[in-house]
């Protein structure tokens, strides 16, 4: 596949606006992109050592995904269950040869998402278009992988974990969870946050662009700034915490606000506590 040729076609049809609707080449370009996303040949974001964060968003891929919504018409789908959605994004179908285990019970993977071999999906869960889920990752019950999110190898998304998606603006970086990250239950990772390799997010941790993270090990505060998203360091163990409000009525009332806290970095004891993961796959 000539990526540069596909990129130009996508960009041209996206720029043409409503004129793309009904254009056979626009439909063909979209379907070529969707197949490339599902095979992992094209990604909405990818590692890039030349960038400050180590990741680069591919705006043209997001344009292609949005083009699919523009071209899509409502159509009935499903067998025992009934769905009505854009015909350009049906639920993906899998075969045993693909090596992805999806347990019955209401899970869905939208077309245009990539799932590598040995990924495990526990019901009910959902993976949206443009997402990339690498080998050995578990997506547990009620977990969400949002549009264009990038999930590394051997990541565990525990029950009810939410990985935010981003389609617009098209140049915005998606949420990235690098290899061997453990995300506890009811966590939320949003707004382009990058979680480096082997980090652990304890249950209930919420990470957003506007949330400072207090690293008590190194005595620093981590924040998003300008074009740089919030970045959780490699091996960090993050737990939900609170910090006192020191001014005004809130101080008088003794109120505090939520903040994530890095309490330590992964060590041998942490590794032993995660050994159960291998038994679940």
- Quick: pLDDT tens for 195-229: 999 999 999 999 999 999 999 999 999 999 998 99
Name beta bridge partners: 239.
261
- Give the integer Cα–Cα distance in Å for 122 and 157: 10
Instruction: Output the pLDDT for position 167.
Output: 87
CA distance 7 to 53: 24
Comparing CA positions, the residue from 210, 166, 162, 211 lying closest to residue 188 is: 162
Cβ distance 72 to 32 under 8 Å?
no
| Token code pair at residue 66 | 């949005």
To which residue do tokens 């910090």 refer? 243
In this prediction, residue 106 has a pLDDT band, given cuts at 50, 70 and 90, of confident
**Residue 275 pLDDT greater than 60, yes or no:** no
Domain map of the chain by residue range? 3-274
DSSP 227: T
- pLDDT score of 280 more than 60: no
Q: What is the pTM of this model?
A: 0.87
Mean pLDDT, residues 223-248 taken together: 95
194, 230 contact by CB (below 8 A): yes
Q: What is the mean pLDDT of residues 131-142?
A: 97
The residue to which tokens 């009505």 are assigned: 84
Distance CA 156, CA 185 (A): 10
Strand-strand pairing, 138-139 and 120-121: parallel
Instruction: Answer yes or no: is pLDDT of 49 > 50.
Output: yes
Alpha-carbon distance 213 to 235, whole Å? Answer: 15
What's the CA gap between 158 and 51, in Å, rounded?
A: 30
Residues 6+ positions from 235 with CB-CB distance below 8 Å = 196, 197, 198, 199, 265, 266
Q: What is the average pLDDT across 86-113?
A: 88
Average pLDDT score, the chain: 92
CATH architecture of 3-274: 3 Solenoid (2.160)
Do 46 and 60 form a contact (C-beta atoms < 8 A)?
A: no
pLDDT number for residue 103 = 79
d(CA 269, CA 117) in angstroms, rounded, equals 29
Q: How far apart are CA 199 and CA 265, in angstroms?
A: 8
The residue among 281 and 81 whose pLDDT is bigger is 81
Residue 272: the pLDDT is 57
């Amino acid at each position: 596949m000539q990526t540069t040729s596909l990129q130009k076609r996508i960009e041209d049809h996206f720029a043409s606006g409503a004129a793309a609707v009904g254009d056979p080449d626009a439909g063909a370009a979209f379907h070529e992109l969707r197949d490339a996303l599902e095979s992992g040949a094209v990604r909405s974001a990818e590692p890039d050592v030349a960038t400050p964060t180590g990741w680069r968003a591919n705006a043209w891929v997001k344009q292609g995904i949005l083009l699919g919504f523009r071209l899509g018409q409502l159509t009935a789908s499903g067998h025992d269950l009934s769905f009505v959605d854009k015909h350009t994004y049906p639920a993906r179908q899998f075969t045993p040869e693909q090596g992805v285990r999806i347990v019955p019970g209401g899970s869905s993977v939208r077309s245009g998402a990539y799932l590598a071999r040995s990924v495990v999906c526990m019901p009910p869960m959902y993976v949206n278009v443009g997402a990339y889920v690498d080998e050995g990752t578990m997506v547990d019950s009620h977990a969400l992988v949002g549009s264009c999110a990038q999930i590394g190898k051997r990541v565990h998304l525990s029950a009810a974990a939410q990985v935010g998606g981003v389609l617009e603006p098209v140049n915005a970086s998606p949420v990235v969870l690098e290899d061997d990250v453990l995300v506890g239950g009811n966590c939320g990772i949003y707004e382009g946050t990058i979680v480096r390799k082997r980090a652990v997010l304890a249950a209930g941790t919420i990470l957003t662009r506007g949330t400072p993270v207090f690293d008590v090990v190194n005595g620093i505060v981590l924040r998003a700034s300008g074009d740089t998203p919030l970045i959780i360091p490699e091996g960090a163990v993050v737990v939900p915490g609170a910090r006192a409000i020191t001014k005004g009525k809130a101080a008088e009332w003794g109120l505090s606000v939520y903040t994530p806290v890095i309490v330590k970095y992964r060590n041998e004891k942490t590794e032993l506590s995660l050994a159960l993961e291998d038994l679940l796959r």
